[in-house]
Amino acid sequence: MTTNIKTFEDFRETFFAFRLPRILLTALDLQLFTVMDTKSWTIKNLAKTLGVSERGLEILCRNLASAGLLQKRGFRYSSERVGRQFLNKHSPLYRGSYLQLMCQQWDNWNSLTQAVKTGHPVEEKEPETPSYRHAFTWAMHERSLDAARQVANQVDFTSATSLLDVGGGPGTYALEFLAKNPKMTATILDRPAALDVARDIAKTRRQGKRLSYQAADFLIDPIHGKYDVIWISNVIHIFSPSTNKKFFRRLRTHLNPRGRILIQDTFLSDKQSIRPAEANLFAVTMLLFTESGNTYSLADVHEWLKKTGYKNPGILTLKKGTGDWDGILIQAHG
Ligand SMILES: C[S@@+](CC[C@H](N)C(=O)[O-])C[C@H]1O[C@@H](n2cnc3c(N)ncnc32)[C@H](O)[C@@H]1O
């Protein structure tokens, strides 16, 4: 998303961009795509089934059709592919856990002014219960499925036989790396409740047998073993620069000779550290949910790596439109 507000009209248009997301949220609240499934509906029948007004539903559906999520033929509406496959509980590709996490954020973002005033998250503390962690970990799996496959197809691990997936959560990345590299074994380092989900997912995949687990608070507890690759994806944005530096230093001691660390995240990449916009927007999420998280520039992370003893920090750029975020990985040797 690129926004460049130069006129009041630009400002107004940008401001009102909240309308479509709010429409999507209402459609999800009503389970519209699940109820519609693969059938085509008149407004009258759909309104009766959903228990909502015909007037409200007609306006909602017209907007969803204009956004490409519904198809309108005469007086009948049906779901297009995204709605049928990903937003529909009857579909095997339903992204329910991730959708729930996305929807919850609407309320959290309403508290942004308070978070800016205090500099602290809106909830007293990240709700670290096993049920929260299970739901979050499933959401991460649904979020990363496609990206993990794309990263695994492009990163060369031929000389590596062991990988530590730090904060690997559901193991989505580790499993894809194992599938692509039959001689490799991998270990996921995460909280016990996240590893429950990883075990359940691994059971459904042949390469799951080459996966092992370390349950730990990785900032405090001992980390075991030495690895050819340390993969750390979507973790450094949770922590402050000083915590990340300490953690990098510690992780380096778990690399085999000639081993490397690979970091995936959303990075600020221009000289002034204000772009891409998505990296700034994600920093807001970190303000709302974490005590000291943020998004960082490529230059910052390179600097931390050098200061903590890594050699030759550099960038791996994936094919445009693939991988997570902008498809940029940072790599350095131990
Ligand atoms: C945003 S998720 C990223 C999951 C996965 N790496 C990905 O890219 O999809 C961050 C992960 O780090 C784990 N994590 C955060 N702080 C942790 C800590 N102190 N100890 C262990 N795991 C932690 C969380 O449980 C979660 O699974």
Fold (topology level) of 110-333: Rossmann fold (3.40.50)
Q: Which of 79, 107, 103 is nearest to 93 (CA)?
A: 79
Q: Which long-range contacts (CB under 8 A, 24 or more apart) does 66-74 make?
A: 67/20, 67/23, 67/24, 69/24, 69/27, 69/33, 70/36, 73/40
Query: Does ligand 1 have an atom closer than 6 angstroms to the CB of 190?
Result: yes
Residue matched to tokens 């550290």: 273
Query: Does ligand 1 have an atom closer than 6 angstroms to the CB of 214?
Result: no
- Indicate whether 127 pLDDT > 70: no
- Domain at 8-94: CATH code: 1.10.10.10
Instruction: In whole angstroms, give the CA distance from residue 254 to residue 193.
Output: 24
The pLDDT score that the predictor gives to residue 124 is 61
Instruction: In whole angstroms, give the CA distance from residue 329 to residue 266.
Output: 9
Is residue 123 very low, low, confident or very high in pLDDT (cuts 50, 70, 90)?
confident
Query: Does ligand 1 have an atom closer than 6 angstroms to the CB of 237?
Result: no
The structural domains of the chain, with segments of one domain joined by +, span: 8-94, 110-333
Give the rounded percent of residues in the chain with a pLDDT score beyond 70.
98
φ and ψ at residue 185, rounded to 5 degrees: -115, 155
Instruction: For residue range 54-101, list pLDDT tens digits in order.
Output: 999 999 999 999 999 999 999 999 999 999 999 999 999 999 999 999
pTM of the entire structure? 0.95
- Indicate whether 8 pLDDT > 90: yes
The residue contributing the CA closest to ligand 1 atom 2 is: 234
How many A from CA of 266 to the centre of ligand 1? Answer: 15
Yes or no: say if 318 and 327 are a contact pair by the CB < 8 Å rule.
yes
How many A from CA of 233 to the centre of ligand 1? Answer: 8
Which ranges of the chain does DSSP label H, i.e. alpha helix? 8-15, 19-29, 32-36, 43-50, 54-66, 81-86, 96-110, 112-118, 130-154, 172-180, 192-203, 241-252, 277-289, 298-307
Minimum-distance ligand 1 atom for the alpha carbon of 219: 19
The pLDDT score that the predictor gives to residue 7 is 97
- Indicate whether 186 pLDDT > 60: yes
The pLDDT score that the predictor gives to residue 122 is 84
Query: Does ligand 1 have an atom closer than 6 angstroms to the CB of 218?
Result: yes
Is residue 128 very low, low, confident or very high in pLDDT (cuts 50, 70, 90)?
confident
Which neighbouring-strand residues pair with 190? 215
Query: Does ligand 1 have an atom closer than 6 angstroms to the CB of 297?
Result: no
Query: Does ligand 1 have an atom closer than 6 angstroms to the CB of 170?
Result: no
Instruction: In whole angstroms, give the CA distance from residue 46 to residue 41.
Output: 6
Sign of CA dihedral 230, 135, 204, 28: negative
Instruction: For residue range 190-245, list pLDDT tens digits in order.
Output: 999 999 999 999 999 999 999 999 999 999 999 999 999 999 999 999 999 999 99
Rounded to 5 degrees, what angle do the CA atoms 175, 314, 241 make? Answer: 85
